[in-house]
Structure 1
Amino acid sequence: MKKYLIIAAFALVSNANAQDKIKTYEELGQQIKTDENFKYVKEKALEVIAEGFNAGDGYREVWIRDYNTFINLAAKVYPKEELKENLLVFFRMQGEDGNIIDGFTPAESIGEAETDFSYSELEPRYAGHKNTVETDQETSLIQTVYKYIKATGDPSILEEVIGGKTVSERMEWAMDFLMNERFSEEYGLLWGATTADWGDVQPEHGWGVDLDENTHRAIDVYDNAMMVIALDNLMEILPETKTKWASVREKFAENTRKHLWDKKKQKFIPHIYLEGSPFPEDFDEEEIYYFGGTAIAIEAGLLSKKEIKVSLDEMVSRVKQAGAPSIGLTIYPPYPDGFFANKIMNPVYSYQNGGDWTWFGGRMVLELVKNGFVKEAYEQIRPMTERVVKNMGFYEWYSINNEPRGSGTFKGSAGVLMDAIEALEQIAEIK
């Protein structure tokens, strides 16, 4: 984090006079440095990540969208060779069109009745799975490779040769897949299935993770912000790719703002539908606020500082309206009961339909720190760390009443909290 940004951060701690600012800065810094919950969370995060790379105790797979959020944490425990090997598995299992799987699991663990898996001669040890309603696997892998290189100082992964292609070539191939198979020429943006914000469940049928004839294709901010971040990462570690991708990146940023940002309401609209909506005609979906997609858009640099503050204020307001525990709230208001065939999305405030996920709330906290909203970041992270201590673990998500749900060792939550806490502590150490 650049020095000027850190200095700017403390300038925003208080609107009082200069003497009060220093006092507030000192008090805030002291609070951060002596926060016992932070100490517990960091120790617990290291303990949990030592158990392996699967997403949590409710999952057998190593998922790339999860790995992207805990690789920094994993780098504190595992040798770089092990971190690299996991990444190489994703490239060995890359599809013939360049697509990237969601996750992999040992092939011997797959039962005869389980048919929704893919296999690769380049990686016979594992079976791959892909929720095709998503459009973030390729961008998640690019971001994870970038974080690996930053965390370990090891760019040699880029020159690893797999099936006659280097990893760097395969990274661009993954981006080409998105441009060839998931790109809307009309809007200049990526599309996926209709889901709730960053979620991976479409409303049309009971499981809801695969594109099919019932799918309503849609464009949302999450997928496209992830693309902007991935292209920034790609061009930083492979500068020679700027010739091809720099103008593409700028168009994605421009079109995301143009088509998805509602200037009047100062929020992102949920979806642009390419062939109609799956929801009733009298349903006003644009009243829904997408917390996760907004956080990722901030990470992508798509909002100004003023818009970030407006977004935070709106999140806090909607959390209060919902009676929710934190800004990890996925969406508000949630989709009405029955709008999703998959029962995990019903009733309201369940799972991705209004559940509270530290996995994304922690990322919003980190972006607040990066953009100078340190006091606000500390205020918003505290409910998240408090419940880790209370429940003695990192749960996947929480109910509207702050009750833990899902995996009790959800490593994505541990990873994003570690990142956010370390960012706060780094600032607290600045004299």
Structure 2
Amino acid sequence: MKKILSSAAALAFILTLTAQPKTPIDKQLSEKIKSDSYMPFVKKKALEVMKTGVNAGDGYREVWIRDYNTFIELAAQVSKKEDIKENLLVFFRMQGDDGNIIDGYTPKEQIGAGETDFSYSKLEPRYAAHKNTVETDQETSLVQAVYKYIKLTGDKSILTEKVGDKTVAKRLEWAMDFLMKNRYTTKYGLITGATTADWGDVQPEDGYGVDLDGNTHMACDIYDNAMFIVALNNLMEIIPSTKTKWEKIKADVTKNTRTYLWDTKKQKYIPHLYLNGSPFPADFDENNIYYFGGTTVAMEAGLLSKAEVKASLDEMVKRVKEAGAPSIGLTLYPPYPNGFFANKIMNPVYSYQNGGDWTWFGARTIQQLIKYGYVEEAYREVQPMLKRVKDNNGFYEWYSIKNEPRGSGTFRGEAGVLYTAIIMFENLTK
């Protein structure tokens, strides 16, 4: 299969995407990175996995935008530019009438007779679409993915591509307008979503937990708002004419995120700012929980100073040790008590998004540590993530508290974020 770019060009684009500063590292650390035996294995394995498809993993038939956004750099190494562009355009063809972006799409022929939780579009007859409405990251993930596509390929023509009666550029703004109209609170000036465990897609209330309903407790959290800020930065860079409208909105959300979600005393982001009460018992101290994933995206959004990034890492390492967890891919700590979520996948504690260990986010933390100049710490913390790829001969969706592989195999999100982190490490040794 034809590659988009030469290896050197691909490397340059990935480093541009991650905005990596020139960080001098000492000779000893440089030699450690150069001689690391896990990195070449993981890189090779990631490329092999990426050649086999673009669905999230072997446990998923869907192409999810929140996943695709995290392995598009890896996809660019093995896929044709036109194929990546086409995968992105499907999301625009299946965009909702109110501007919302779907979670993912599945070939129609794979939908069973009894499956009804799907939407369809005349603009894209090949697929059925699904959306977990408790999330508020589909729109922002698509903006980020299009930004990465343009940076990787230099192909800005995607923005003028006509989908129905609107260009992709217009549809990107329409997606952001959807959030402002339907997922925004004027009281706090923040993006909202259902109560979930950090970046998760399962609410605690009765049922499967992926759709907003009458039982939902709406809230503001750091993950959704940080993703929104990153997306607006991306949008304004690739479509400069949008700055007039979105610059002030971004500045206000940035300010309000620090005002309402940052706990100055504890030096951490609170789990939730509730709009209509909490779903948890009144005597439960939710602010004792530390959200690893949302904190990482806050780093990416520029919502933490360099000193706060280091303090956040120290807190993550401390809590990983307390939990007895394998890595800083830990979703949160302490976990929500058993029974707090109706969906059994979140129980018992340290299960799935309730205290499972996800390299999918942990390796993004590694990328941010490198960006902020904490290379030695990043190298130390990435080791268990690399080692388990070798030990399990592949990538898994998440890992138990005992470091056992769980969930979908060939999980491309993990492969993608590790691949990018390794490229960043390797660049430091040149």
TM-score (norm 1): 0.95
Q: Which amino acid aligns with 1:82?
A: D
The yes-or-no answer on 1:73 pairing with 2:74 is yes
Cα RMSD over matched residues? 1.0
The count of residues paired between Structure 1 and Structure 2 equals 414
Distance in 2 of aligned mates of 1:206 and 1:171: 32
Distance in 2 of aligned mates of 1:428 and 1:228: 31
Matching residue of 1:48:
49
The yes-or-no answer on 1:428 pairing with 2:426 is no
Give the CA deviation at 1:6. Answer: 4.0
- The residue correspondences of 1:125-204 to structure 2 (distance < 5 A) are 125-204=126-205
Distance in 1 of aligned mates of 2:396 and 2:336: 23
SS across alignment from 2:77: coil
Listed one character per residue, the Cα deviations across residues 300-327 of structure 1 (whole Å, up to 9, x for unaligned) are 0000000000000000000000000000
Give the CA deviation at 1:35. Answer: 1.0
Q: Which amino acid aligns with 2:278?
A: S
| CA 5–194 in structure 1, closer or farther in 2 if over 3 Å, else same | closer
SS across alignment from 1:407: strand
Listed one character per residue, the Cα deviations across residues 15-73 of structure 1 (whole Å, up to 9, x for unaligned) are xxxxxxxxxx1111111112110000000000001110000000000000000000000
Distance in 1 of aligned mates of 2:114 and 2:419: 39
The yes-or-no answer on 1:27 pairing with 2:28 is yes
Distance in 2 of aligned mates of 1:426 and 1:154: 25
Distance in 1 of aligned mates of 2:295 and 2:196: 15
The yes-or-no answer on 1:247 pairing with 2:248 is yes
Distance in 2 of aligned mates of 1:97 and 1:329: 35
Distance in 2 of aligned mates of 1:119 and 1:426: 44
Matching residue of 2:232:
231
Matching residue of 1:259:
260
Distance in 2 of aligned mates of 1:70 and 1:190: 25
Listed as ranges, the gaps of 5+ residues in structure 1 are 14-24
SS across alignment from 2:279: coil
Give the CA deviation at 1:95. Answer: 0.2
Give the CA deviation at 1:153. Answer: 1.3
Distance in 1 of aligned mates of 2:330 and 2:99: 33
Please tell me whether the aligned partners of residues 206 and 343 of structure 1 are also in contact (alpha carbons under 8 angstroms). no
Listed one character per residue, the Cα deviations across residues 164-208 of structure 1 (whole Å, up to 9, x for unaligned) are 100000000000000000000001001110000000000002310
Matching residue of 1:61:
62
Spell out structure 1 runs of 4+ moving beyond 2 A: 4-7
The yes-or-no answer on 1:374 pairing with 2:375 is yes
Matching residue of 1:351:
352
Please tell me whether the aligned partners of residues 20 and 370 of structure 2 are also in contact (alpha carbons under 8 angstroms). no
Distance in 2 of aligned mates of 1:228 and 1:274: 21
Distance in 2 of aligned mates of 1:142 and 1:340: 31
- The residue correspondences of 1:244-393 to structure 2 (distance < 5 A) are 244-393=245-394
Matching residue of 2:416:
415
Please tell me whether the aligned partners of residues 160 and 167 of structure 2 are also in contact (alpha carbons under 8 angstroms). yes
Distance in 1 of aligned mates of 2:267 and 2:425: 27
